[in-house]
């Protein structure tokens, strides 16, 4: 559906959802994981570091960290202060360094040195919340998940896909609207689209490929 078709035409919520998904797939048919990693452990650490930090900066820091230790066995031996110094550019380094050290030790003590492939055990690890666990489950283990951060929450609200006041409600709404088998790729497509066409600042909804059609003023049946 183009912009002219969307003006003045009442459409169903499901038609809108399907068209938004089609637009996103058209822009981003491939969905590479933006955080550099080699396995589930390095992905977990990279996602933890990405909190309040750009993926680009994380990708500059993780090679330095993983050259020192790229598995829980080696990381558990690295002093927390040393981890902190390496990851300082990512921000929140006191908290993140402590979490990286502690979770590495827990993986050794409770999970035979392996990253658990379930939400309960992942979210029990220091520094790992639901969003981080969702990314790991989706991208490391291929389990359908829909990680929602503040950026995806903002876009979903802009596009009228949710009226949720927080990421938890937005996640529930998006999971209800989109097919489960598409969640993992869709999460990444929304991130890519937001960065390029629907940023938090300096956004012009009249030229955005989705907001220009499906802003919150769109009429529905």
Catalytic residue among 131, 173, 175, 180: 131
Overall pTM > 0.75: yes
What CATH number should be reported for the domain whose range is 40-139?
Answer: 1.10.340.30
What pLDDT is attached to residue 9?
52
Under 8 Å between Cβ of 117 and 137: yes
What CATH number should be reported for the domain whose range is 3-32+146-214?
Answer: 1.10.1670.10
Tens of pLDDT, residues 73-110: 999 999 999 999 999 999 999 999 999 999 999 999 99
Q: Which of 52-66, 188-202, 207-221 has the lowest mean pLDDT?
A: 207-221
CA 98, 103, 109, 112 torsion-angle sign: negative
Under 8 Å between Cβ of 9 and 219: yes
148-152 LR contacts (CB < 8 Å, sep 24+)? 148/174, 148/187, 151/191, 151/194, 151/200, 152/187, 152/190, 152/191, 152/194
Domain boundaries, the chain: 3-32+146-214, 40-139
Query: What is the mean predicted confidence (pLDDT) over 113-140?
Result: 97
Catalytic residue among 16, 70, 96, 149: 149
The answer to whether residue 131 is catalytic is yes
For the purposes of burial, counting CB atoms within 10 Å of the CB of 37, is it exposed (0-12), middle (13-18) or buried (19 or more)?
Answer: buried
The answer to whether residue 105 is catalytic is no
User: What is the C-alpha to C-alpha distance for residues 179 and 49, in angstroms, rounded to an integer?
Assistant: 30
Query: What is the mean predicted confidence (pLDDT) over 117-123?
Result: 97
């Amino acid at each position: 559906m183009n912009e002219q078709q969307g003006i003045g035409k009442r459409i169903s919520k499901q038609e809108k959802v399907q068209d938004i998904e089609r637009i996103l797939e058209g822009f981003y048919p491939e969905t590479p994981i933006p955080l550099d990693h080699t396995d589930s452990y390095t992905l977990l650490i990279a996602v933890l570091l990405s909190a309040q930090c750009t993926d680009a900066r994380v990708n500059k820091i993780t090679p330095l960290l993983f050259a020192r230790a790229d598995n829980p066995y080696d990381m558990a031996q690295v002093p927390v202060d040393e981890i902190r110094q390496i990851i300082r550019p990512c921000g929140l380094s006191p908290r993140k360094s402590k979490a990286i050290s502690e979770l590495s030790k827990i993986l050794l003590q409770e999970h035979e040195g392996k990253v658990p492939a379930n939400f309960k055990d992942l979210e029990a690890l220091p520094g790992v919340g639901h969003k981080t666990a969702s990314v790991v489950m989706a991208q490391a283990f291929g389990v359908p998940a829909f990680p929602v951060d503040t950026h995806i929450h903002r876009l979903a609200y802009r596009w009228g896909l949710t009226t949720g006041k927080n990421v938890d409600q937005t996640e529930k709404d998006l999971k209800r609207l989109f097919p489960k088998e598409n969640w993992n790729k869709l999460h990444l497509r929304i991130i890519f689209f937001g960065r390029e066409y629907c940023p938090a600042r300096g956004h012009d909804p009249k030229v955005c490929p989705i907001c220009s059609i499906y802003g919150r003023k769109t009429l529905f049946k």
